Amino acid sequence: MKQFHSSDIRNFAIVGHGASGKTSLSEAILKLGGEINRLGTIEDGSTVSDYHPAEKSRQISIHSTPLHMEWGGKKFNIIDTPGYSDFIGESLGSLGIVDLALITIHAANGIEVCTETMWENATNLGIPKMLVVNGLDREHTKFNEILAQAKKRFGDNVFPMQLPVNPGPGYNQNIDVLRNELITYKNDKSGEMDEGPLPENFQNQVKDLHEGLIEYVAESDDNLLEKFFDQGGLSEEEMREGIHKAIQDQTFVPLFCISATSNIGVRRLCDFIAKYGSSPDDRKVVVAHNKNGDDIEVSLDGEETVLQIFKTMSESHLGELSLFRIYSGNVKTGKDYYNSNRNINERFGQMFLMNGKNRTQVGQLFAGDIAGVVKLKDTHTGNTLCSGNHVTLPKLNLPSPNIHSAIVSDSKGDEEKLAVGLATLHEEDPTFVYRVDSEVKQTIISGQGELHLTVTTERLKRRFGISIGLEKVKVPFRETITTKAQAKYRHKKQSGGAGQFAEVWMKIEPQKKGDGIEFTQSLVGQNVDRVFVPSVEKGVKIACLEGILAGCNVVDVKIDFYDGKMHPVDSKDIAFQTAGKHAFRKAFLAAQPCLLEPIIDIKVKIPEEFMGDIMGDISGKRGKIMGMDSEGGFQLINAQVPQAELHNYATTVRSLTGGRGLHSESFSHYEKLPKDLEQKVIQERKTKEDE
Ligand SMILES: Nc1nc2c(ncn2[C@@H]2O[C@H](COP(=O)(O)OP(=O)(O)O)[C@@H](O)[C@H]2O)c(=O)[nH]1
Ligand SMILES: [Mg+2]
């Protein structure tokens, strides 16, 4: 491929709700650009973009896939992203490195939760948006309703650049509002079209729209606005000048009409992106950090290289592949760059322009471009590589996990391999996290949904040969007391060799929530030598870790060791540890102990019609509704629910809402577990111990 100036590059991500046709649209674009000869389909698993085995078998996108082609003298770098909420991290990561978001909307389903999530994220990142209503060849399309919905949700400046003339099966005509013409596409998926005059019945509507468009464009630029008032309008030429800027400012948000699978409308969309879409020049300067964490500007025309890895993945026959965007300078195979997140040097390996599994090798690339590089040793998703001064680009904006599972490894002795596998997968996909939880003694993996964890588990098996099972995360119940109590305990062992003797007197009382375990001594006289104080404390701390009622951590208890007895020969550290531990257990059981359970704050975002189901489910889960709000066209429910009830809640939300709801979780506090449940938990843990 020839070299493109940054102003001739169009970096955009296709984002939107699952099944709105992002992958099919990518396919249609590549077909127009001549990168492929025929349109692959999701059903046959033959699209360029969904080429991974897990994507083919499930018929959904799991990875962000970079694609490229040439159109109208411009280089398109397209990123087809997943819309399934399990893989939302991929989409958010990709949005962070493009200059334009193309948001697809399903022509029959309208605006869905992920449509809105993507809108918000693109807005927060400050990148312009275009909307694409796709699938206008489907039955039961509702273009006018979607347009009204989009204006209501996203603002009145959403503007239809096109109107579908014959939506529904057989759809092949659009009105082009900018050019005041009728476009008829061939029905052979070639994407070819004829232009003709406006039909009579559209003339008034289009005239009004056209005038509206002129006003939007005029508003984006003072010079144009002046001309607009002087001349009472804008010429075709002046319009063209203004549209690009108007899109950058989002004074209006263009909306397009297409059918991806029949290649209707895609050509005009590409023309529009080529002519008016954003280029890297529109984000010439990005704010990064220097070594001291101060803001510095990275400029597209800078001499030094600055690039960011936005995804790493392992590819068959290639090994580890890192996808990157260059923000400044150029990159060359064989050169060393500095990884400022990890403070190491990396030698740049072979570089590729990507079209799914079809890749073209290149030796050098320039600022603004997107490509892949192989064999970086220790550089991971989100890292910055640079030449010259130390620069770190802002972190990719990624969601926090909302589903957790414990892993059980079938293969004993593979711990080290497992640790390496988990670490590698996390580095590739930072939305997959894992940790060893000492409280419940499980290794816990977390992600964006059950499917995310399943797919990652499969990857662990395929790549590292480790098979793991998933099981429920144990709830980290805790134990505490509700009244004061005291106990005396004598530990005496005099059979065989050296004897052991210790006696500990102890008072305990509840502490304020969150104050933990506090151990004091108030010994008077010489009954107990002070050297044994740490021994008693150690015994108490062990008892607190082991738990007394149900094997859970003990919290929020104040302990005072106030007296005891000792023996001149047989008293020793271990004897006082044992006596301390047992005195504590005895006092604890006398102090009306109880179990505490973790309560989680959840936020659920759903279309209005699912309110009843979600609220009903929350109250069935012993949850408390803390508040409700509407956000965009969705309802936002804030609630507090016990962790014990939230196992795979992401899946519950998905199934209650047909995939149209989303939720997030964060720990809130501990609360007393109801008595009936407490008995159940204690019983369960006892049986486990007996086994
Ligand atoms: N009728 C029709 N079906 C489409 C269109 N675009 C996509 N589909 C189908 O909708 C499903 C989801 O499409 P896909 O491209 O995977 O959507 P994505 O999840 O947004 O990438 C597949 O079965 C496609 O064949 C379209 O324009 N018209
Ligand atoms: Mg897809």
How many whole angstroms from 58 Cα to the centroid of ligand 1? Answer: 14
How many whole angstroms from 158 Cα to the centroid of ligand 2? Answer: 24
How many whole angstroms from 34 Cα to the centroid of ligand 1? Answer: 21
Identify the residues whose C-beta falls under 6 Å from ligand 1: 16, 18-24, 41-43, 60-61, 83, 134-135, 137-138, 259-261
Testing ligand 1's pocket by substitution, the residue of 24, 44, 141 carrying the most ligand atoms inside 8 A of its CB is: 24
CA-proximal residue: ligand 1, atom 25 (nearest):
42
Residue range 225-232: average pLDDT?
88
Residue 261: predicted pLDDT:
97
DSSP of 507-546, one letter per residue?
A: EEEE--TT--EEEEE---TTSS-GGGHHHHHHHHHHHHHH
Which amino acid is located at 19 in the chain?
Answer: A
SS3 of residue 415 by DSSP? helix
As a whole number, the mean pLDDT across the chain is: 94
CA distance linking residue 261 with residue 360, whole number of Å: 26
Per-residue burial over 292-329, b if 16 or more Cβ lie within 10 Å, else e, is eeeeeebebebeebbbbbbbbbebeebebbbbbbbbbb
Residue 34: band (very low, low, confident or very high) from pLDDT cuts 50, 70, 90: very high
Instruction: Determine how many CB atoms are found less than 10 A away from the CB of residue 145.
Output: 11
CA distance linking residue 293 with residue 392, whole number of Å: 9
Testing ligand 1's pocket by substitution, the residue of 22, 91, 261, 269 carrying the most ligand atoms inside 8 A of its CB is: 261
SS3 of residue 125 by DSSP? helix
CA-proximal residue: ligand 1, atom 8 (nearest):
21
How many whole angstroms from 172 Cα to the centroid of ligand 1? Answer: 17
Q: Tell me the percentage of the chain whose pLDDT exceeds 70.
A: 100
Testing ligand 1's pocket by substitution, the residue of 42, 47, 263, 269 carrying the most ligand atoms inside 8 A of its CB is: 42
Parallel, antiparallel, or unpaired: how do β-strands 193-196 and 253-258 relate?
unpaired
Q: Please check the confidence at residue 691 and state whether its pLDDT lies above 80.
A: no
Using only C-alpha atoms, the chain has a radius of gyration, in whole angstroms, of: 32
pLDDT digit string, tens, across residues 277-298:
999 999 999 999 999 999 999 9
The structure tokens listed for 253 are 């948000």
pTM tops 0.85, yes or no:
yes
In 3D space, the residue among 341, 461, 332 whose CA is nearest the CA of residue 390 turns out to be 341
How many whole angstroms from 64 Cα to the centroid of ligand 2? Answer: 9
Instruction: Provide the 8-state DSSP code for 344.
Output: E
Q: Please check the confidence at residue 222 and state whether its pLDDT lies above 80.
A: yes
CA-proximal residue: ligand 1, atom 14 (nearest):
21
How many whole angstroms from 21 Cα to the centroid of ligand 1? Answer: 4
Parallel, antiparallel, or unpaired: how do β-strands 557-565 and 624-631 relate?
unpaired
Parallel, antiparallel, or unpaired: how do β-strands 500-510 and 468-471 relate?
unpaired
Give me the residue label for tokens 């001149």: 568
| Ligand 1 atom closest to the CA of 262, numbered from 1 | 27
In whole angstroms, what separates CA 452 from the centre of its chain? 11
CA distance linking residue 39 with residue 25, whole number of Å: 10
pLDDT digit string, tens, across residues 638-670:
999 999 999 999 999 989 998 888 899 999 999
Parallel, antiparallel, or unpaired: how do β-strands 336-339 and 384-386 relate?
antiparallel
CA distance linking residue 545 with residue 522, whole number of Å: 24
How many whole angstroms from 109 Cα to the centroid of ligand 2? Answer: 16
CA-proximal residue: ligand 1, atom 1 (nearest):
138
Q: Please check the confidence at residue 1 and state whether its pLDDT lies above 70.
A: no
CA distance linking residue 311 with residue 383, whole number of Å: 10
pLDDT digit string, tens, across residues 427-459:
999 999 999 999 999 999 999 999 999 999 999
Label residue 589 exposed, middle or buried (CB < 10 Å: 0-12, 13-18, 19+).
middle
CA-proximal residue: ligand 1, atom 13 (nearest):
21
Residue 232: band (very low, low, confident or very high) from pLDDT cuts 50, 70, 90: confident
CA distance linking residue 517 with residue 539, whole number of Å: 13
CB of 267 closer than 8 Å to CB of 186: no
In 3D space, the residue among 106, 108, 363 whose CA is nearest the CA of residue 260 turns out to be 106
CA distance linking residue 83 with residue 19, whole number of Å: 7
